[in-house]
Amino acid sequence: MSDIPEDLLYTSEHEWMRITDNKAEIGITNHAQNELGDIVYVELPALDDEIDTGDEFGTIESVKAVSPLYMPISGRILEVNTALHDHPELVNEDCYDEGWLVRIEISNNDDKEELLSPKAYKAIL
pLDDT at 1: 46
For the domain covering 9-124, report its CATH number. Answer: 2.40.50.100
Q: What does the pLDDT read at residue 2?
A: 58
Extents of the domains making up the chain: 9-124
pLDDT in tens, the chain (125 residues): 458 999 999 999 999 999 999 999 999 999 999 999 999 999 999 999 999 999 999 999 999 999 999 999 999 999 999 999 999 999 999 999 999 999 999 999 898 999 999 999 999 99
Cβ–Cβ < 8 Å for 1, 31: no
Residue 102: per-residue pLDDT: 98
Please tell me the predicted confidence (pLDDT) of residue 48: 97
